[in-house]
Amino acid sequence: MFGALGFVLVKVMQMARFAIGVGLLAVGASAAITYAVADWYRFTTTSEISPTDGVRGNSHLLVWENLNALMPAVAQAWGCKTLIDRQGQAMAGAHAAPPPTCQLHYDFETPQADVAFIEAQANAAVLLAGRQFSASDGQLRQLQRCMVETLPMALTRNQREELRLSPSSDALRSANVAAASVASECQAKAGITG
């Protein structure tokens, strides 16, 4: 009789330990999820945004992008809109490319042909500025970064479509005019003057 009671007590103790283990695991997982969501929200609403580099100047951006990619679509859209609005305020209305996870929520996508055009224009602007002006390496890097971030938003949807589908001379001429304008703005922002 005592042996059967001992067996039952052992089984009850094992089940209690298992239940406590599952409970601790659930508490730990809940704490980790709560911390991640709080970190995502804190970055979205109160992170430091550089007036020159925008949100890309924040070293915590990669963590936020990974968390944002895990959020439901509604939360992603809200987070992107909030962060981009805050970036616009911090940069006094100047344009800067949004974080990559936000590009799907806004019309900032750049097809492959556009990317090649943008990189070529940025490299050309840096080369030209380096030859014409006595610009420092830091100014040239800032000019290139500005071109890569600003030019995609300066091109209209039609210009991007034309570059991607049939890069005719008219399409290139139109896009080059936009690129020249952006290069002038970016040179001024980088402090490169003649």
Domain boundary among 95, 127, 143: 95
The residue among 186, 85, 177 whose CA lies nearest residue 144 is 186
- If one counts the domains in the chain, the total is 2
Does 19 reside within a domain? yes
Stretch 177-192: mean pLDDT: 85
Task: Check whether residue 6 and residue 91 sit in a common domain.
Answer: yes
Does 100 reside within a domain? no
Task: Check whether residue 50 and residue 84 sit in a common domain.
Answer: yes
Does 133 reside within a domain? yes
- Residue 150's alpha-carbon distances to 18, 33, 98, in angstroms, are 57, 35, 10
- pLDDT tier for residue 108 given thresholds of 50, 70 and 90: very low
Tens of pLDDT, residues 119-128: 677 767 777 7
Task: Check whether residue 91 and residue 9 sit in a common domain.
Answer: yes
| Residue 164: count of CB within 10 angstroms of its CB | 16
**Whether pLDDT at 2 is above 70:** no
Does 105 reside within a domain? no
Does 75 reside within a domain? yes
pLDDT of residue 51: 81
**Whether pLDDT at 194 is above 70:** no
Share of the chain above pLDDT 70, in %: 81
pLDDT of residue 80: 85
pLDDT of residue 124: 72
> What single DSSP character describes residue 50?
B
Tens of pLDDT, residues 18-68: 889 888 998 998 998 899 888 889 988 988 888 877 787 788 888 888 888
CA pair distance 38, 71, nearest whole angstrom: 12
Domain boundary among 29, 62, 95: 95
Task: Check whether residue 16 and residue 87 sit in a common domain.
Answer: yes
Q: Show Cβ contacts of residue 105 under 8 Å, excluding neighbours closer than 6 positions.
A: 76, 77, 80, 81
Task: Check whether residue 153 and residue 70 sit in a common domain.
Answer: no
Task: Check whether residue 71 and residue 142 sit in a common domain.
Answer: no
Supply the range of the domain harboring residue 8.
2-95
- pLDDT tier for residue 109 given thresholds of 50, 70 and 90: very low
Task: Check whether residue 84 and residue 123 sit in a common domain.
Answer: no
Task: Check whether residue 185 and residue 141 sit in a common domain.
Answer: yes
Does 45 reside within a domain? yes
How far is residue 28 CA from its own chain's centroid? Answer: 29
Task: Check whether residue 120 and residue 70 sit in a common domain.
Answer: no
Does 106 reside within a domain? no
Does 103 reside within a domain? no
143 neighbors 190 (Cβ within 8 angstroms): yes
